[in-house]
Every structure is written in C-alpha cells, then in structure tokens.
Amino acid sequence: MVPEKKEKLTVEELLAKAKKPAQLSPAMHRFYEGKMQVIPKCAIRSVDDFAIWYTPGVAAPCREIQADPDKSFELTNRWNYVAVVSDGTRVLGLGDIGPEAALPVMEGKALLFKYLGGVDAFPICLRTKDPEEIVRICKALEPTFGGINLEDIEKPKCFKVLEDAREQMNIPVWHDDQQGTATVILAGLMNAFKLVGKKPRESLITLVGSGAANIRTAYVLMKWGVKPGNIILADSKGVVYSGRKDISKEDDPWKFDVTQKTNGEGRTGGVEDAFKGVDAVVAASKPGPGTIKKEWVKTMAKDAIIFACANPIPEIWPWEAAEAGARIVATGRSDFPNQVNNSLGFPGIFRGVLDVKAKTVTDNMCIAAAQELASYAEERGMSENNILPRMDEWEVFPREAVACALKSIDEGVARVKPSRQELYERASAIIQNARQSTELLMKHGLIKQPPKENELIK
C-alpha cells in the first residue's frame, strides 16, 4: 500500500516522506514562536468601548452571574472555553518528558480545537504527577471553562483522573487518548468491516497494547455490541488472559476488569499468538517500525484489517502490512491513507457538547460520533484506501457536533435543548468563522507565510 496509487512511490521515497514532518517541525515552531494567540472577538470602535467591556460597565454582568452562576455560559466566553490539561507523563510516543516539553503538543491540540471545531482551547501543563492534585486543579478551573480535555497522562493514573473528575464536576471531562482514540477506531472499524463483508460484532478483534487507548477501545467496542469474548488484548508480555499473575486488581483495576471480560477462548502465548485467525488488529502500542512483524499478519484471517496507530511511526509500515496480506491498513498519520486519529473526534464532539452546555460527556456520545463519522465517509464514497473522513472535509465536524449534542439531550445532561437544525447552523457558523479568520489573517500578512522547505531544512 502507498499513500496514493497515482504516486507510485518507492519504499525509499515513502520513508523520506514519512520523516519530513519531523525535519520541518522544529524550524517551523521556532519561526512562529508557538502556535496559538488570544485576539478579541468583540467590537472595539474606540477606547470608549472599554467602559462597556471593562469597568464600570462590566459590573452589571458580574452581578447577573453572581445571582445565577449558569449565566457565565451566556455572558462570557465560558461556553466555548476548553482547558487542555496534561502532566506530560505520556506524551505521544515520547513518554514522560515533563510539562514544558509537553507544551508544543498541547498547543497543537488547541490549534486543532480552534481550526476544526471552533473551540477556544488553552494548553495547561502541570508540574504535578499526583492524580488527586490534577483532579483538584481541574475542579479549581471549572468556573472558567465549559469543558476539560485531559491529555497525555500515563496509565493507570489517567483512568482515575478521568473517573474522579467526571464524577466531581458539572462540565464535560474527556480524556482524548482514551475516548477520542476509541471513537475514531470504532468509526474506522465500522467501515472497514463493511468493505470486507464481515460482521464486526461477530468477528475476532485483537487489541495490541493495553494502554489508555485500547482499554477504552475495548469498553467502547463492548458497549457498541461486540461480544466481549471476541476481543483479545495483548501487551508487551503477550496475550492478556484471566488469571495472568502480573495483572492485578490492586495495581490496575481497569486492565484487570477488561481481562475478566475478554478473550472468551482463553487464548495464551506471545503477542504473535494474538494474531492467529483474527479478523482485525488494532495496535496502539510502541512506535515501530517492526513492532508488528509481517509474519504475524500472514497468520490472520482472510481480508484482514490492520490499524497501526502508534505515533510518530506506526507499528508496521502500511505497505509491509499489505504485502503480508492485509486488505485494509490504517495508521495514525495524515501522510498515509486511512488516518485513524482522534483529531477527527474531539473537535466535533466538544463543539456539540459545548453548544448544549452539557454537564458531562459519555461513551454513548463517543458511539454517536463514531456512527456519524462512518456515515459521512460511506455517503460521500469510501474505498479500501479511504475508510474515514479527512480533516480537510470540514463538513463532517458540524455533523458530528449535532450527533453528540442530540445524544447529550437524550441522556438528560444538556443545559439547553436547541433543535437539530439550530445545532447544525450554529456549529457550521462557528467552525467556518474559525477557519475564515485564520485565512484572513494569513491573507493580510498578520500570520506570516513560513519560509520555503529548503530554507527550513539546512
């Protein structure tokens, strides 16, 4: 498999293309000195308007909010603020690199939030690894934000932080490495199984890697209707099964719980044994290449599906998986076909829950978003190299937002209940505003054009 059939790239050219983003990125970050800024959204006709936006006029909305704190969603931008919170302990494929080093990722997250979902997101990197303190900080931030996006927090701590924060707060709290990744994986599997003519709820699905992404994926797959016994987990030590002595309820209650529900046939052995005869493999593990071997793929069922989602390098190069017999291959990268990346999920999902001022976000909303992503791709036409929407298909994000907003209303957690049409028009307008604002700033040179690639890579 190659990124586009018409390119007919050699393996060397594919490898060079795969390495280019990392070569360009440091110079581009240095050129712009970061990726995000804060600019006004209100009219400033003259300095006299500051009497309205600040003192003395601002005292009037303050009094209204004091009388009814929920009016902070009407009289301030709280309705559209999201905090991107990380302790820097599990950043991409880099591991525990610390809060300062995590900041470029959180800024990037905020950029995607704004451009794809019209959400005003702020990177907040914490100098603490204590899960209880992280929850306390999120609670302390709640009066300012309409939602919390937890990011790049190590397992199993991330599960506790998510559960405790969701339980204690009245705004949506979301861990994108869990719920976002699971949402897009589910959408991709929905369409991949359609293309190969198999029923996903009856098929064998292996999850390679038992971190936050795949543990939540297991839960979401089960909630969607996949038989728990048909799901097989594998970690660095091999197949995960009930009774494995190194997996305890005390050390990792979430992994232990999944262990008790999955692997109905009681399969054991090494990672390679998790591939034998299965219909689909979803890998969210150690970056490759070579983490997944071609000979393992050859043991899978006919018309195999491989999602190699590790970043920055997939567990197996897509062309190697195809050579080994996989019919559909996806990765987490935008420069290969079938990107399975949570950037397709969180901007639209948060747009939806923010637009109804929801009090939480649930796995059912993940499923609603996944179904909308899959439907969009199917309606506009899909193929083995095109199973999911792309980030440049902006129309998918308001549709996803509406699906999540309506599910919020159905589940009784929405503070307001607009109609489907009102939700779609609002989401579309907000997202288009964000995109057009960026384009306008670029057009007028307020966002500078970057240097040419040959000037960046010296």
Q: What is the pLDDT of residue 8?
A: 65
Q: What is the pLDDT of residue 142?
A: 98
Q: What is the pLDDT of residue 5?
A: 46
- How far apart CA 273 and CA 234 sit, in angstroms, is 9
pTM over 0.75: yes
Q: Which residues are catalytic?
A: 54, 109
Q: What is the pLDDT of residue 165?
A: 97
Mean pLDDT of 438-443: 95
Please list, residue by residue across 259-292, b when 16 or more beta carbons sit within 10 angstroms of its beta carbon and e when fewer do. beebbeeebeeebebbbeebbbbbbbbbbbbebb
Mean pLDDT of 37-56: 95
Q: What is the pLDDT of residue 458?
A: 67
Instruction: Please say if the pLDDT value at position 25 is more than 70.
Output: yes
Mean pLDDT of 297-303: 97
CB atoms within 10 A of CB 327: 17
- Contact assessment for residue 280 and residue 221, using Cβ atoms and an 8 Å cutoff: no
Q: What is the pLDDT of residue 1?
A: 43
State whether residue 129 is helix, strand or coil: coil
φ and ψ at residue 306, rounded to 5 degrees = -125, 120
Q: What is the pLDDT of residue 452?
A: 86
Tens-digit pLDDT profile for residues 66-90 = 999 999 999 999 999 999 999 999 9
Instruction: Please say if the pLDDT value at position 4 is more than 50.
Output: no
Tens-digit pLDDT profile for residues 136-176 = 999 999 999 999 999 999 988 999 999 999 999 999 999 99
Q: Would you list the DSSP string of 146-189?
A: SEEEE-S--TTHHHHHHHHHHHH-SS-EEEIIIIIHHHHHHHHH
- How far apart CA 114 and CA 117 sit, in angstroms, is 5
Under the banding of pLDDT at 50, 70 and 90, the label for residue 119 is very high
Under the banding of pLDDT at 50, 70 and 90, the label for residue 335 is confident
Mean pLDDT of 342-352: 95
Instruction: Please say if the pLDDT value at position 7 is more than 60.
Output: no
Cα angle for residues 64, 66, 70 (degrees, 5° grid): 75
Instruction: Please say if the pLDDT value at position 301 is more than 70.
Output: yes
Tens-digit pLDDT profile for residues 259-283 = 999 999 999 999 999 999 999 999 9
Q: What is the pLDDT of residue 404?
A: 97
Q: What is the pLDDT of residue 16?
A: 80
DSSP code at position 90 = S
CA atoms within 13 A on the CB side of 310: 25
Q: What is the pLDDT of residue 2?
A: 41
Instruction: Please say if the pLDDT value at position 29 is more than 90.
Output: yes
Under the banding of pLDDT at 50, 70 and 90, the label for residue 37 is very high
Q: Euclidean distance between the first and final Cα of the chain, in Å? A: 31
Q: Would you list the DSSP string of 274-319?
A: GTTT-SEEEE-SS--SSSS-HHHHTTSPSSEEEEE--SSS-SS-HH
- Contact assessment for residue 352 and residue 364, using Cβ atoms and an 8 Å cutoff: no
Residues recorded for the chain: 458
Domains in the chain, ordered, with CATH? 49-175 (3.40.50.10380)
- How far apart CA 292 and CA 283 sit, in angstroms, is 9
